[in-house]
Amino acid sequence: MSQASQSSEQPESKRHPAIVILDFGSQYSELIARRVRETEVYSLVMGYSTSADDLRSIAPKGIILSGGPSSVYTEGAPICDPGLWDLGIPILGVCYGMQLMVQQLGGVVEAAGRGEYGKAPLFVDDPLDLLSDVEEGSTMWMSHGDSVAALPQGFERLAHTANTPEAAVADHRRHFYGVQFHPEVVHSLGGMALIRNFVYQICGCKPDWTTEAFIDEAVADVQARVGDKRVLLALSGGVDSSTLAFLLHKAIGDKLTCMFIDQGFMRKGEPEFLTDFFDRKFHIRVEYINARDRFLGKLNGITDPEDKRKIIGTEFIRVFEEESKRLGPFDFLAQGTLYPDVIESAGTGVDPNTGERVAVKIKSHHNVGGLPKDLQFKLVEPLRRLFKDEVRKVGRNLGLPEEIVRRHPFPGPGLAIRILGEVSAEKLNILRDADLIVREEVQDAGLYHEIWQAFAVLLPVRSVGVMGDKRTYAYPIVLRCVSSEDGMTADWSRLPYDLLERISNRIVNEVKGVNRVVLDITSKPPGTIEWE
């Protein structure tokens, strides 16, 4: 999404996508949509079993078949409607999507003699159309154990790698293309050039889906859905809920009430900052609810992270329900749910029999997995299809100050999931003080905006130390700093040693109850950014 001025006559939910991604269970399906959106073209992810008739009614200018965990030659493997190939619409198959295209059109796919995983240089045989501007030897990200053994009639090779003869293929006459690698991931250096070629040159799309267009559409959508009803927003002060507050205020004005529930798991000084910032500075109504003791009591004896999230999520709604009777009535509850929240909560697999996503859940998100079944509100989630960087662009366009727009992500359950094991008032105080030191030092070093997240984690163990010739037996703090573009994947940040030393020295000297600081150097995957 760019900042260019564009508008649309219809809300986002009714706008037909220019590019449809059919999801075969890849963890990167929504990431493909995000990359297409970076070209300022509207895209939408749909289930792989979407019928050709439904696609014809949508009339996209292009279709992308995602990757997936299955092998196309196994019984029950997900397949698309064969009528897809007769729509006359350009199609790009990615990994599994390419193999499915080859098999359904008469080619052969079989287990590779040698799988290919990770980075591989791409050797271009045909530099036109799909691979124009993709440099010879560009690094591409491979992840496959099957390969194309024979191409269908009318197809030809576009590129190969050392281990994969048919790394990119095409039927130029019918505008069918396939790539064995993943152009959507950041590791594929020529990936965006390839996606732009498909979107612009092959599909003929125009760059008309911009930040302002999204805002116009989202505002119209909210107005149409909400009407003259009132909306209650769970305001946390993070980028997502803050952007949502500004968006909803633009759409419905005083019909919006923001409720900040201080559950006791916020960072140091944040409740005071939040109420002052929104209520006094921007005149957006904020109701402050002090529920610290209530939430802490609910977590007494709870150690399982999923239980924590669900308890906190349920209690949030219960407080909303109680307070809404006093302040309401409210018909709608607004949430700043984003695409990564939905992806991780729903899982990424696909049931080959139903076409539905399999709940291979990584973790429940506060905005998604923790909601109780007897929810009394209708949900409003205008940001549900956006990634974090897109939300920041929307926030800037709406006039949200940089101090909010560029804040690091913070989980809905707050510090409760950065304390492993049981949560207590003592541990919360320890973690707040340690976390503040981490953020202060990273900020002072001028690295805050170069890092996706920087925070502290408190472990439920103690170790022996020595301070002033006295033995100590205290908690360790884990320093977690990661770099990322969208939170889908992340790498640990290589902080300067002198900065690490300052953080460690300050924490062990200033935070009572801590005698050790350790550094988490795990990427995502295999780890997650948060510890719980």
DSSP 208-259: ---HHHHHHHHHHHHHHHHTT--EEEE--SSHHHHHHHHHHHHHHGGGEEEE
Rounded CA-CA distance 142/190 in Å is 13
User: 517: alpha, beta or left, given left = phi > 0 and alpha = psi -120 to 50?
Assistant: beta
Percent of the chain with pLDDT over 70: 89
The first and second tokens of residue 85, run together, are 């190939």
Bridge-based pairing of strands 138-150 and 256-262 is unpaired
Rounded CA-CA distance 320/313 in Å is 11
Q: Give me the pLDDT at residue 113, please.
A: 66
184 is catalytic: yes
Cβ contact 278:258 at 8 Å: yes
Strand order across the beta sheet in which 231-234 lies = 286-290, 256-262, 231-234, 332-334, 378-380
Q: Give me the pLDDT at residue 105, please.
A: 96
449 is catalytic: no
Q: Give me the pLDDT at residue 115, please.
A: 65
| Catalytic position from the list 175, 182, 249, 365 | 182
Cβ contact 458:430 at 8 Å: yes
CA nearest to 184, candidates 30, 302, 328, 54: 30
AA identity, residue 462: R
> CB under 8 Å to 199, separation ≥6 — which residues?
18, 19, 36, 39, 41, 62, 205
Rounded CA-CA distance 196/129 in Å is 10
Number of alpha helices (DSSP H) and beta strands (DSSP E) in the chain: 15, 21
How many angstroms separate the Cα of 508 from the Cα of each of 7, 239, 511? 54, 31, 6
| Catalytic position from the list 12, 40, 166, 184 | 184
> pLDDT tens digits, the chain, 532 residues: what are they?
654 333 333 334 466 889 999 999 887 888 898 899 999 999 988 889 999 999 999 999 999 999 998 899 989 899 999 999 999 999 999 999 999 999 999 999 988 766 667 888 999 999 989 999 898 988 898 887 788 999 999 999 999 998 889 999 999 999 999 999 999 988 888 899 999 999 999 999 999 889 998 899 899 999 999 999 999 988 888 888 899 999 999 999 999 999 899 999 999 988 888 888 887 778 888 999 999 999 999 999 999 999 999 999 889 888 878 888 888 888 898 888 876 666 555 443 433 333 333 323 334 444 434 455 555 678 899 998 788 888 999 999 999 988 888 888 888 899 999 999 999 999 999 999 999 999 999 999 999 999 999 999 999 999 999 887 788 899 999 999 999 877 778 899 999 999 999 999 999 999 999 999 999 999 998 899 999 9
Rounded CA-CA distance 507/101 in Å is 56
Rounded CA-CA distance 522/526 in Å is 7
Rounded CA-CA distance 48/353 in Å is 11
| Catalytic position from the list 95, 203, 205, 258 | 95
